[in-house]
């Protein structure tokens, strides 16, 4: 276990929970090591926490949460046996706004190698009949997620609770 500074404080993260970015995120190409963090109260959402830069986190959720489906695989994952797509959730800037997804730039996670990358699609396949009401992250990623325990009171005073990036 190695100690990392994160937006959630100092965390112990095992090597098996560290993900390598093989197709860098635009604007963040120097960031290579990440961890997936899950707070139970956040339901199906997980935080993609940079281990190279503690202030950088991205909120992710399974595409089905927004009624999206990606039948194709990205170029960097063609040789992988399995993988899981996730989309970045775009937090509302005002109270009346709703949550949106970056549907054209999903991330693809390959649990077998603990690698992931972002890829661009021309259009996602809508699947409104399969909008997910899952209460936790995808099971394919569950064992490689760092599960955090926070109380509702701790979350209420956190800058993450108000959507700070």
Q: Is the pTM of this model over 0.85?
A: no
pLDDT of residue 59: 94
Q: How far is CA 132 from CA 26, 91, 137, 144, in A?
A: 28, 19, 11, 21
In this structure, are residues 61 and 45 in contact, taking their beta carbons and an 8 Å threshold? yes
As a dihedral over the C-alpha atoms of residue 4, residue 7, residue 9, residue 12, rounded to 10 degrees, the angle is: -30
pLDDT of residue 132: 64
Inform me whether the pLDDT recorded for 156 exceeds 50.
no
More confidently predicted of 117 and 163: 117
**Closest by CA position to 60, among listed 73, 50, 51:** 50
Cβ(40)–Cβ(147) below 8 Å:
yes
Taking the C-alpha atoms of residue 133 and residue 53, their distance in angstroms, rounded to an integer, is 32
- DSSP E strands in 14-148: the ranges are 18-23, 33-39, 46-50, 57-61, 68-69, 84-90, 100-101, 107-110, 115-118, 125-126, 145-148
Averaged confidence pLDDT in the chain: 83
Q: Which residue, chain included where needed, has tokens 């990358």? A: 117
User: What pLDDT, on the 0 to 100 scale, is given for residue 133?
Assistant: 67
pLDDT at 162 over 90: no
Q: How far apart are the first and last CA of the chain?
A: 26
Given a cut of 70, whether residue 60 has pLDDT beyond it is yes
What is the β-pairing status of strands 145-148 and 33-39?
parallel
pLDDT at res. 164 = 40
pLDDT tens for residues 101-131? 888 999 999 999 999 999 988 877 666 555 5
Statement: residue 66 has pLDDT above 80 = yes
> For residue 74, which phi and psi values (nearest 5 degrees)?
-70, 160
pLDDT-based confidence at residue 137 (cuts at 50, 70, 90) = confident
Q: What is the pLDDT of residue 128?
A: 56
């Amino acid at each position: 276990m190695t100690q990392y500074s994160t937006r959630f404080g100092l965390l112990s993260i095992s090597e098996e929970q560290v993900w390598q970015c093989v197709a860098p995120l635009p604007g963040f190409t120097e960031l290579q090591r990440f961890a997936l963090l899950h707070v139970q109260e956040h339901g199906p959402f997980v935080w993609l926490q940079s281990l190279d830069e503690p202030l950088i986190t991205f909120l992710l959720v399974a595409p089905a949460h927004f009624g999206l489906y990606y039948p194709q695989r990205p170029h960097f994952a063609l040789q992988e046996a399995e993988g899981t797509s996730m989309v970045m959730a775009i937090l509302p800037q005002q109270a009346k706004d709703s949550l949106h997804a970056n549907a054209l730039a999903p991330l693809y996670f390959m649990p077998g190698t603990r690698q992931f990358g972002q890829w661009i699609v021309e259009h996602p396949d809508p699947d409104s009949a399969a909008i997910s009401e899952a209460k936790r992250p995808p099971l394919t990623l569950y064992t490689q997620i760092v599960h955090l325990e926070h109380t509702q009171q701790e979350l209420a005073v956190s800058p993450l609770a108000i959507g700070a990036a």
